Amino acid sequence: MGMNTQQCRDPMSTAALLAKELAQTSVERDRRGGTAKEERDRIRESGLLTLPVPTEYGGPGHTWPTILRVVREIAKVDSSIAHLLGWHYLQLVTPHLMGSPKQKEKCYAGTVIHNWFWGNALNPRDRRVRASPEGGNRMLFNGVKRFCSGAKDSNMLLVSALKEESNGLIIAFIPSDREGVIIHDDWDNIGQRQTDSGSVSFHDVIIEEEEILRSPGPLGSPFASLRSSIAQLLLANIQLGIAEGAFEETKKSITAFSGQWSADVEDKRRDPLIIQRFGHLWIDIRSAVSLTEEAGTAFQEAWEKEGNLDDGQRGRCTISISVAKVLTARVGLEVTNRMFELLGARATSTKYRYDRYWRNLRTLSLHDPLDHKIQDIGDWALNARYPTPGFYS
């Protein structure tokens, strides 16, 4: 596909090319589920893995608005792959947010040199992995975690555990093939079927001292707490991509699936009721695009503040992101539902698997409760209170 395998100078074109390629097989892969090994390798070749790595570590140093648009572009045709790529970025920058300068360097530079694909085994709501001390400052991890998106076929893994006695949180990065790490093939859900969001179990996994991040969590500092902002922003962009993809597909296929129902309207494209529905959907999509872009810009500003980021800017930024998250979910639900009313009965054939837009959106949008985000937003709007930093806000 002619993608720059080393480094990606024009990420949007690369993303568009990759999306075109993914679109060829996304229906079949939605059926199959499982690990998208071939597609992951195509991402590896595309050069997209290093987008956020700063130039000082040999990366292209793209900003978040670009990174998020890349993820969204891919989500238009394949929200699982978009999720894998997005979550890769999330893990990749975590040592920057929560680690030492040395750890940050190691992860950024390593990703450029080895073209690491990062996976997730951090899920803080699953408290079943425990850490115990082990000779020197090493720790030993034991237990199991669910919802570990992208762990399968990854090179590096972000992992977390609770200390046996204090329940203190430990976050670390390790090679995915570290001894004792078993990545299970047990993700079989109605949507986001190729995200490998299954479970990972740890059997006496040794974690070296230098792999452990020093500010392991959202409360470390305003900057560290941006990790959840990235996650939420990725979710918003993937949700928006799904909505846009469904809309495009509907537009393209508007006359493909149903004959003439009304004597008054020879062409569905001239049917005022069809046009009216497109009008409403377009307004919805424009709102979602606009607020998602705004959130991306706000985030970039917060990101650039780094150590100087204060609670106020952090708070406003998360509200902006939450607004995008809730709106893209709402709009996405609307589009992925209504597309069937526009296309007609024959569009329900499994040949097209058009339900995957809805299944993907519905699954993704449950990552954490939307109503809690609305509470955060309402509390800000009414009481000028910022959300308490946490793994989901």
Residues that bind a second copy (CB under 8 A): 125, 147, 188-191, 251, 254, 259, 261-262, 264, 269, 272-283, 286-287, 290-291, 294, 323, 326-327, 333, 337, 340-341, 344-345, 347-351, 353-355, 358-359, 362-363, 365-383
Distance of closest approach, residue 327 Cβ to a second copy, in angstroms:
6
Distance of closest approach, residue 111 Cβ to a second copy, in angstroms:
29
Of residues 137 and 260, the one with the C-beta less far from a second copy: 260
Of residues 164 and 379, the one with the C-beta less far from a second copy: 379
Measure the CA–CA gap between 377 and 383, rounded to whole angstroms. 10
* Token couple for 60: 């292209």
Enumerate residues 6+ apart whose C-beta is below 8 A from 387: 315, 318, 319, 322, 376, 379, 380, 393
Distance of closest approach, residue 317 Cβ to a second copy, in angstroms:
14
Per-residue burial over 295-333, b if 16 or more Cβ lie within 10 Å, else e, is bbbbbbebbeeeeebeeebbbebbbbbbbbbbbbbbbbb
Of residues 97 and 246, the one with the C-beta less far from a second copy: 246
| CA proximity to 73, closest of 251, 241, 192, 235 | 241
Distance of closest approach, residue 56 Cβ to a second copy, in angstroms:
34
Of residues 211 and 355, the one with the C-beta less far from a second copy: 355
How do strand 156-163 and strand 118-121 relate by DSSP bridges?
Answer: parallel
Terminal CA-CA length for the chain: 38
Distance of closest approach, residue 284 Cβ to a second copy, in angstroms:
9
Of residues 1 and 283, the one with the C-beta less far from a second copy: 283
Distance of closest approach, residue 273 Cβ to a second copy, in angstroms:
5
Q: How far is CA 70 from the centre of its chain?
A: 11
| CA proximity to 43, closest of 17, 61, 68 | 17
Measure the CA–CA gap between 344 and 250, rounded to whole angstroms. 10
Please, is 93 exposed, middle or buried when counting C-beta atoms within 10 Å of its C-beta (0-12, 13-18, 19+)?
Answer: buried
Of residues 159 and 288, the one with the C-beta less far from a second copy: 288
Of residues 73 and 355, the one with the C-beta less far from a second copy: 355
* Token couple for 10: 């024009």
Q: Torsion angle of alpha carbons 115, 295, 13, 36, nearest 10°?
A: 50
Is the four-CA dihedral 307, 311, 313, 317 of positive or negative sign?
A: positive
| CA proximity to 241, closest of 36, 117, 68 | 68
Of residues 138 and 330, the one with the C-beta less far from a second copy: 330
Of residues 225 and 365, the one with the C-beta less far from a second copy: 365
Measure the CA–CA gap between 145 and 128, rounded to whole angstroms. 6
Distance of closest approach, residue 191 Cβ to a second copy, in angstroms:
6
Distance of closest approach, residue 328 Cβ to a second copy, in angstroms:
11
Distance of closest approach, residue 155 Cβ to a second copy, in angstroms:
26
